[in-house]
Amino acid sequence: MAVDERMRVLMVSMSLQGHINPMFKLAKHLLSKGVHHVTIATTEDGRDHMLKNTKPSNITNNTNLNNSNNDSGMELVFFSDGLSLDFDRSDTESMVNTIREKGPKNLSTLITDLTKVHNYSCVIVNPFVPWAIDVAVEHGIPCALLWIQACAAYSIYYRYLKNINPFPNMDDLNEKVHLPGLPPFEVRDSPSFILPTTPCHFRLVMKELFEAMDKVNWVLGTSCYEIEEEIVNSMASLTPIYPVGPLVSPFLLGEKERSDISVDMWIPEDSCIEWLDTLPDSSVIYVSFGSLIALSQKQVDNIAVALKNSKKAFLWVIKPSNGESNHAPELPNEFLEETKERGLVVKWCPQEKVLMHPSVACFITHCGWNSTLETLVTGVPVIAWPFWTDQATNAMLMEKVFRNGVRAKYGEDGTANVEEIERCIKDVTEGPRAEEIKKRAMEMKELALRTLQEDGTSNNNINKFITDLIVGNPARA
Ligand code: UDP
């Protein structure tokens, strides 16, 4: 495909691991198809975090901060979220409200500077910076949304916030929701940003996003058509979503990495891959709750006892706390000593490489959408343990649509107890149920891998997006 060699794309994201990873992955696809350059604008606290928590050489080697003379075709640039760098961003209300107020001006100043030197064909935003849509429009640059959750979550938000379908009383978590393209599900499995119990500042993000949707020329999704076919079809007559995923690293799709560019908020402990190399196939339980979830002491204790009782090998990621008010819980006394022959606890791991490893038997996951996609393309069975935002929706998809795992049931204290974790581990690793789940996980893997091949649906959607950019007259549907 011939692409104007000056074609540049600007992406805007908060500096959160789960937000920035899919932007990077889309950038790599665009560059591999001839887009000349991708600039990723994110908040300055992300640069500060990376400088403190990863090796500075890692950042400069891999990401070429503020340096457009690199051969990767990608650069990271930064704007202020309006808060000082030492502000404790686990105060989400101040963080969300301040970036909403100060972010537009700061991003606009950055775009003014960038456009003095280059033209941009498009600004791609993700859902958590809805105000960036107006900034792009003010600068006269066409705007695309990269929806970084399941198409199912897009459909639920859209239908709820735009009053397309009747919803039950959302105060009652047991009520059933019936929507096109989805099996009936309980209110508790809706994305939490529409639930009345969710703090206002989070609900406002989605409300403002869907209000701004008419100014967006394209809605791309990190999912793929093959795994969410009915849901994607059900949105076609409303505001269609064009899946371009699974947006995971190329090596998960059997391709060679174009370069090793990545943005890690913590240094991945690569030694865990060598440790996995020493273990038999399908023998290790991998446990991780992503980059934001902070487990309670009770949850850590329950997982520790269940892992110890399982007698199986495990790799457990317990990442450092995100902010001052967010203390990391401690592992029970003696746990590390008692399990040292078969267990490894790390602060951060190269998750995609871990999931690709033949030793991994199953994944106890919080069901973040990136982690969900990574399990689908690697065929790893899951134990779904969702917390908030879209995670319960993803758990519902895993249980009822993908059927690639089991879901942990919570007791009255709102969490899974030891016996329940043990039951889940048994169900996904032993006996006929485990075989059935593994078979289904491998079927999902095959479907997901097909979609980015030459004639695959996601590949076609990316090509169409680039063609629209070349024509410079992007049509909405
Ligand atoms: N991740 C990683 N190492 C870890 C844990 C997570 O590289 O030890 C990556 C994971 O592969 C995924 C991202 O961090 O791409 C987490 O995104 P997700 O949407 O699953 O969850 P979030 O962190 O946004 O809650």
Residues near ligand 1 with C-beta < 6 Å? 17-18, 21, 268, 288, 290-292, 317, 348-352, 368-371, 374
C-alpha–C-alpha distance, residues 467 and 11, integer Å: 18
Say yes or no: 236 and 277 in one domain.
no
Q: Which of 410, 8, 363, 455 is nearest to 173 (CA)?
A: 410
Q: Does residue 193 share a domain with residue 288?
A: no
Same-domain pairing of 403 and 459:
no
Q: Tell me, yes or no, whether 90 and 228 share the same domain.
A: yes
Q: Is residue 252 included in any domain, yes or no?
A: no
Ligand 1 centre distance from Cα of residue 213 (Å): 27
In a domain? residue 257: no
Closest atom of ligand 1 to 371 CA is 20
Amino acid of residue 142: P
Q: Give the domain range for residue 288.
A: 266-449
Q: Are 72 and 57 contained in the same domain?
A: yes
Is the same domain home to 220 and 201? Answer: yes
Reported as half-sphere exposure (CB side, CA atoms, 13 A), residue 354 has a value of 26
For the chain, the domain total comes to 2
CA distance 285 to 274: 16
> Is the domain of 445 the same as that of 455?
no
- Enter the pTM of the model: 0.94
Q: Residue 246 and residue 232: Cα distance in Å, rounded? A: 14
Contact 232, 127 (CB under 8 A): no
**Is 86 in the same domain as 155?**
yes
Does a structural domain hold residue 476? no
The DSSP secondary-structure symbol of 385 reads -
Please report, for the domain that includes residue 62, its CATH number.
3.40.50.2000
Residue 442 located in a structural domain: yes
pLDDT for 63 equals 44
Do 186 and 308 have their domain in common? no
Reading phi first (left if > 0) and then psi (alpha if -120 to 50, else beta), residue 168 is in: beta
pLDDT means over runs of 10, the chain (477 residues): 74 95 94 93 90 57 42 90 93 95 98 95 97 98 97 98 97 97 98 96 97 96 96 95 94 72 82 97 98 93 97 94 63 91 95 97 98 98 98 98 97 94 98 97 94 90 94 64
- Is residue 115, in this structure, part of any structural domain at all? yes
Is 260 contained in some domain?
no
Ligand 1 mutation target, pool 351, 378, 380, 393, most atoms within 8 A of CB? 351
372 CA closest ligand 1 atom index = 20
* Domain assignment present for 312: yes
DSSP 8-state assignment for residue 398? I
Q: Would 261 be classed as within a structural domain?
A: no
Within 8 A by CB and 6+ apart from 238, the residues are: 158, 159, 162, 164
Same domain? For 192 and 322 the reply is no
- Name the closest-CA residue to atom 13, ligand 1: 18
The dihedral sign for the CA sequence 253, 380, 243, 81? negative
* pLDDT at res. 472: 76
pLDDT at 446: 95
pLDDT for the residue numbered 66? 39
